[in-house]
Structure 1
Amino acid sequence: MPASDRRTSQPSAIGAETIALIVLLALALVLVGGVWSSMHLAHALTGSPQDPPANPFTLVLHLALGQLRWTGGATAAAAAQLALVAAATGQGLWLRRRKKAKRTRVDTAAAYMGAGQELQPLTEEGASATARRLGVRGAPGVPIGRTVDGRRMLYGSWEDMHIDIWGPRTGKTTSRGIPAILAAPAASSVLVTSNKRDATDATRDVRREITGNEPWVFDPQRVATEEPTWWWDPLTYVTDEVKADQMAALFAAGTRDASAQTDAYFDGEGRNLVAWLLLAAALDKRPITDVYTWSARPTDETAVGILSEHGYKLQADGLAGVVNAPDKQRAGVFGTARQMLACLTSTTIAPWISRTGPDDDRPHFDPHAFAEGGHTLYSLSKEGAGSAGPLVAALTVAVVEAAEELGARSPGGRLANPLLGVLDEIANVCRWTELPSQYSHFGSRGIVLMAILQSWSQGVEVWGEAGMNKLWSAANVKVYGGGVSEVSFLQELSQLIGDHDRRSVSANVSSDGRSTTRSLSDMTTMDVADLGAMPRGRAVVLASGVPPTLVQTVPWMAGEHAEAVKKSIAAHEPQGA
């Protein structure tokens, strides 16, 4: 995260004597105006023979000289005006207190951050202009939040990539995930990953109404207690040795704890073995569960023969080398492969990724058909041992790469209807190791992804420091929603927000007279403490081409689909026993 030298200025302070003079002049004008209006109102209402002058200062002078008489009607008019002023003042103070109650301790920083025309690309007008240029109809973009003054909603365009870092229970799903899903046009497909059911319950019925298509819910670990009414064969993704290697990498990343000790030889060879077995099963049209069966039978050469028959001689030789290796070496490699494939042994997962029998006529999920648009997919998984995370990652990659291929064949090299991916809990349930290298490229294909993390270090666990920096830099819209206590990350974020100049004026009185001193001091706009304790309902936005901005988050409850979301939640909320 590179630092920034952004600097804004604070207006200089006004001297106390100047303020006192301004107040006295204002009171004098109010008094003169009140006398003038009271006299004219009394004359108009009572038909008094007195004819007050039009010039207010002449009128006051005539009253002082006795040339005009202050009447009871004028007193009544003055009293009525005072009552109106008092009522208006009370209303204003009430509104001010109410507005102040909604403000937070960090809102003062907004004055030194992005505002006005600086934010034009993120406004509804700016995002809509981009949508028209891209041919996207139905929505200006992905909602981000509202400026702190409450007047302008900000959006990421349909070619922007997002990365969000929000600590636990800071409202990331309520204020970012769900609003993004609801904002997607009917003609677009939406992909969602999560380890909870909240976004699925809240939006599935709304998306069905918007698109006219029944959403797909991939729930092999019963996070949302969904039944396997459809299935997806992961081996349809494995079309060659390259795709086999990529899927093997997903199995390796999804089953390896970040703190686990690795062995350079056995981990590398175990991953190669998984790739060869996946390729063999795909070539022979076998269910993916056969891959685990082969990994449990180290001397079985069936896969070697399949690879040879289909012309993959080098892969066959590599697999034969492992099968015929010394016992301890072979056991180590096959044992590592079995660990990577452990999720395939779950009886609850199997129906989601393979047919249950020859008469199984359930629909089969096709990533390429999904990428055409108008569909919704929720991929859910728990964390830890036995997690279906590798399969969630594989399904996510299959969908995104199918959309990428379709975009490359489409006019302008991008999808006519963008694909939106809300990748919540991506570091836990969708460990896509190659994501940082491809992130910026996806935006040019009409694939808008939002990677949501709970902390910077969570991303480092998956992609390493260099990979996390690459992912952060590749995102056009970066949103920090608070709740993080990592000082190094917050320090760099503070530097990106920048400093501002504070000008102050002080007066000194001595025997030589009065002197004024002006000074300039450097102030951090939002320091580490501000960012670490940022209240819920506020977020910092760093977007390409605009200054850092403090926004007010907008939860789905404040959106146009609020009632529909409540009904969807009620329809799918688990019923207690």
Structure 2
Amino acid sequence: MDGVNGALPADPFAVTLGLLSGTVTWPASATAVLAAIAAVILLLGLGAGFLLRERGQRRTAVDAAAPHMGKGKQLRSLSLAGAKATAERLGVQNWVGVFLGISVAGRQRLYASPEDMLTLIAGPRVGKSTAYVIPAIADAPGAVLTTSNKRDVLDVTRGLRSKVGNVWVFDPQQIAAEPANWWWNPLSYVTDDVKAAKLAAHFASGSRASDSRGDAYFDGAGQDLLAGFLLAAALENLPITTAFTWTTSPGDDEPVSILRRFGYDQMADSVSGHVNGESRRRDSVYGTASQMAACLKVRAIARWVTPQGDELDRRPQFDPQAFARSSDTLYSLSKEGQGTAGPLVTALTAATVEAAEEYATKHSGGRLPVPMLGVLDEAANVCRWKDLPDLYSHYGSRGVVLMTILQSWSQGTHVWGRDGMRKLWSASNVAIYGGGVREPEFLNELSQMIGEFERHTTSTNVGRGTRSSSHALQRERTLDVADLGALPRGRAVVLSSGAPATLVITIPWMQGPHATTLTASQRTDQAALPVPRPGARRDE
């Protein structure tokens, strides 16, 4: 090539020996060609590596089931084209829905549409937050509310969400060490006796241990008594802690007088019946009501839901109605155990979602102009919303997209009962199983829903000098209980309305379109930042 060698032998081994012995000279141009070839190979390798990482890094044993599950045109409703068509029909712009993953068979990107409700069941540390919660929040087009018992989602997404709206962190148990520099008045939700009963129900369900059977009479009576106290406090514009104080004062008829003065005679009669009831029964009812509202006696919690100081509290007050019209983000944090703020997290979540529903009814089609996303992570622990299964499909028609996340099927049955959990699962347009669950009954039902496939078998018989073969079709479970129990991280089973179950590759946020922004948010040292005004943008 460079004229440094004469006629070279055709045998490559002879050329190699010549290079080693010095009879053949290595030309400079060959170095350039070799470098170019190496660069091309390197780029191809990097590209292949990226594709492998994007598509689940490597195949797993469970992937062999994918060809026997939903694929191709069967997943039209979940495809990008299908999600876009639904979004256009609903008038939703710049959002096609919650990203679900990439199908193992066919490598389609799959989405839940902007009117789909979701339920995700997956065990601890299998990637729920990294593959579903954080990407969904990052992609959301409007207001977002999310619940959790950890601060990880807050840390990763706050920076991004603060660029599109105000950030509110409800942290009465100091999970993220957030100051109480804003507050919410739960009694602003109590506009009548019906709302008072709903708020009391949130206190009842949120304060009861998941393994507690309770007492039908005293639980019901205590909840009714608390509802009367909450309504009386709201009518008189008293702090919500007054309702707890009344639960510790059997015989105090002040709430009865307030209720009668405002015309709630039936509620007054109900409360009066307990105030003047037989002492032992009365004390038991009051004790039950007091346990339901026990979180209000914790000073650190109370300052998040009551005005502070002798003068008018100058802290911003959270307004669910204004939130529903915004692109703000509400992070509600709590944890189980003594002093849980779970009842208030549930009440705040319900009040915010109901405000969005009311706002939706004022628009064409009864839907929010921009969908609101609600990610109820750790729902069975920190957001025990008893009526949720009954309301699930309704909220989807209002443009309020909810994703309820549980660690197991049994968690849901502890909160909503067997029938309630089945109702929630059935009302979910998209149901996701992300692995990590060891409950044979649930996994067996899931296996049945995934279905069977026909395996072709061949058997050969040899005898008396002859050889014969027989063929048969044998039906087998596509994924049996053992397969589902051992589902590897990075895979999930998606069941959707009108489509067969499909196996997907879950994509963590670190490999998504918002990776750079989210990584920067995660790395931000919050302790080094000045404390922002409550509800203020972080970039102000």
Between 498-507 and 387-396, report the one with greater CA deviation. Answer: 498-507
Match of 1:271 in 2: 223
Q: What displacement does 1:512 show?
A: 8.5
Residue correspondence of structure 1 range 391-406 to structure 2 within 5 A: 391-406=344-359
Match of 2:202 in 1: 250
Q: What displacement does 1:407 show?
A: 1.1
Deviation string for 1:105-152 (max 9, x for gaps)? 101010101111111211111111111111111121101111125732
Deviation string for 1:133-177 (max 9, x for gaps)? 111111211011111257321110000000000001111011111
CA distance in 1, matches of 2:486, 2:127: 15
Contact 2:189 2:351 in 1 (8 A): yes
Tell me whether 1:155 sits opposite 2:111 in the alignment. yes
Residue correspondence of structure 1 range 207-226 to structure 2 within 5 A: 207-209=161-163, 211=164, 213-226=165-178
**Aligned residue type for 2:174:** R
Match of 1:7 in 2: none
Q: What displacement does 1:567 show?
A: 1.3
Deviation string for 1:295-340 (max 9, x for gaps)? 1111211111110011000111111111111221211111111101
CA distance in 2, matches of 1:111, 1:150: 9
Q: What displacement does 1:505 show?
A: 4.0
CA distance in 2, matches of 1:112, 1:261: 43
Question: Do the aligned partners of residues 438 and 573 (structure 1) sit closer, same or farther apart at CA in structure 2, a change above 3 Å counting?
Answer: same
Q: What displacement does 1:258 show?
A: 2.4
Q: How many residues align?
A: 488
CA distance in 2, matches of 1:392, 1:226: 15
Contact 1:454 1:484 in 2 (8 A): yes
Tell me whether 1:200 sits opposite 2:154 in the alignment. yes
Tell me whether 1:131 sits opposite 2:87 in the alignment. yes
Q: CA RMSD in A?
A: 2.4
What SS is found at the alignment partner of 1:520? strand
**Aligned residue type for 1:410:** H
Match of 1:190 in 2: 144
**Aligned residue type for 1:108:** A
Show structure 1 runs of 5+ residues with no match.
Answer: 1-71
Q: What displacement does 1:260 show?
A: 2.1
CA distance in 1, matches of 2:315, 2:48: 59
Deviation string for 1:3-27 (max 9, x for gaps)? xxxxxxxxxxxxxxxxxxxxxxxxx
Match of 1:356 in 2: 308
Residue correspondence of structure 1 range 445-524 to structure 2 within 5 A: 445-506=398-459, 515-524=468-477
Q: What displacement does 1:228 show?
A: 1.0
Question: Do the aligned partners of residues 247 and 512 (structure 1) sit closer, same or farther apart at CA in structure 2, a change above 3 Å counting?
Answer: same
**Aligned residue type for 1:135:** G
CA distance in 2, matches of 1:494, 1:529: 10
Match of 1:280 in 2: 232
**Aligned residue type for 1:140:** V
CA distance in 2, matches of 1:193, 1:125: 31
Contact 1:500 1:522 in 2 (8 A): yes
Residue correspondence of structure 1 range 52-71 to structure 2 within 5 A: none
Match of 2:366 in 1: 413
Match of 2:536 in 1: none
**Aligned residue type for 2:383:** C
**Aligned residue type for 1:556:** W
Runs of 4+ that moved beyond 6 A:
509-514
Deviation string for 1:425-454 (max 9, x for gaps)? 000000000000110111001110000000
Q: What displacement does 1:408 show?
A: 1.6
Tell me whether 1:302 sits opposite 2:266 in the alignment. no
Task: Indicate which of 360, 383, 386 corresponds to 2:336.
Answer: 383
Q: What displacement does 1:508 show?
A: 5.7
Q: What displacement does 1:481 show?
A: 0.3
Deviation string for 1:332-359 (max 9, x for gaps)? 1111111011000111111210110223
Q: What displacement does 1:510 show?
A: 6.9
Match of 1:141 in 2: 97
Task: Indicate which of 129, 151, 172 corresponds to 1:173.
Answer: 129
What SS is found at the alignment partner of 1:373? coil
Q: What displacement does 1:523 show?
A: 1.6
What SS is found at the alignment partner of 1:298? coil
Q: TM-score scaled by structure 1?
A: 0.81
Show structure 2 runs of 5+ residues with no match.
Answer: 1-8, 16-36, 529-540
Tell me whether 1:332 sits opposite 2:288 in the alignment. no
Contact 2:373 2:401 in 1 (8 A): yes
Contact 2:71 2:105 in 1 (8 A): no
Task: Indicate which of 308, 313, 331 corresponds to 2:265.
Answer: 313
Contact 1:373 1:417 in 2 (8 A): no
Contact 1:150 1:552 in 2 (8 A): no
Match of 1:342 in 2: 294
CA distance in 1, matches of 2:473, 2:444: 23
CA distance in 2, matches of 1:273, 1:151: 56
Contact 2:72 2:106 in 1 (8 A): no
**Aligned residue type for 1:151:** R
CA distance in 1, matches of 2:112, 2:82: 10
CA distance in 2, matches of 1:171, 1:276: 43
Residue correspondence of structure 1 range 415-434 to structure 2 within 5 A: 415-434=368-387
What SS is found at the alignment partner of 1:416? coil
CA distance in 1, matches of 2:87, 2:252: 56
CA distance in 1, matches of 2:443, 2:472: 29
Tell me whether 1:571 sits opposite 2:521 in the alignment. no
Contact 2:166 2:327 in 1 (8 A): no
CA distance in 1, matches of 2:368, 2:427: 20
Q: What displacement does 1:259 show?
A: 2.1
Deviation string for 1:333-389 (max 9, x for gaps)? 111111011000111111210110223211111101111131110000011111000
Q: TM-score scaled by structure 2?
A: 0.86
What SS is found at the alignment partner of 1:102? coil
Contact 1:541 1:550 in 2 (8 A): yes
Q: What displacement does 1:516 show?
A: 4.4
Q: What displacement does 1:571 show?
A: 1.5
Q: What displacement does 1:101 show?
A: 7.0
Deviation string for 1:529-571 (max 9, x for gaps)? 0000111110000011111000011110011111111111122
**Aligned residue type for 2:456:** R
Contact 2:71 2:106 in 1 (8 A): no
CA distance in 2, matches of 1:336, 1:359: 33
Task: Indicate which of 48, 61, 64 corresponds to 1:108.
Answer: 64
Between 103-112 and 257-266, report the one with greater CA deviation. Answer: 257-266
CA distance in 2, matches of 1:504, 1:270: 64
Deviation string for 1:30-89 (max 9, x for gaps)? xxxxxxxxxxxxxxxxxxxxxxxxxxxxxxxxxxxxxxxxxx97x88xx9xxxx9xx99x
Q: What displacement does 1:278 show?
A: 0.3
What SS is found at the alignment partner of 1:279? helix
Match of 2:534 in 1: none
Residue correspondence of structure 1 range 553-564 to structure 2 within 5 A: 553-564=506-517
Between 142-151 and 401-410, report the one with greater CA deviation. Answer: 142-151
